[in-house]
Amino acid sequence: MHTEEQLNAIATGCGLALGELIQDDSEKRLLLMVHQNPSAAQRVCVAKWARKNGLKTVFVNVNFPEG
């Protein structure tokens, strides 16, 4: 398991906001990326880091209501 601080450092390094990368205790091998319309570069950045650390990336595209 990676700490919240580690995940936040990777998130900001990949152009994401704090808290947009999540690793759950029940599925330690998965890295969840929760972001609205991530760019290809953001996806690649997260996926490369995850692969280097033995994790599988799951991309969750969230559509927040406007207004």
Residue-wise pLDDT for 9-65, tens only, equals 999 999 999 999 999 889 899 999 998 888 999 999 999 999 999 999 999 877 777
pLDDT at 67: 67
pLDDT at 25: 87
pTM, whole model, 2 decimals?
A: 0.85
Three-class secondary structure of residue 26 per DSSP: helix
Give CA–CA dist 61/26, Å, rounded: 21
What's the Cα-to-Cα distance from 30 to each of 23, 35, 42, 47, rounded to whole Å? 6, 16, 17, 11
pLDDT at 31: 95
Please state the rounded mean pLDDT for residues 5-12.
96
pLDDT at 61: 78
Burial class, 20, CB count within 10 angstroms (exposed 0-12 / middle 13-18 / buried 19+): buried
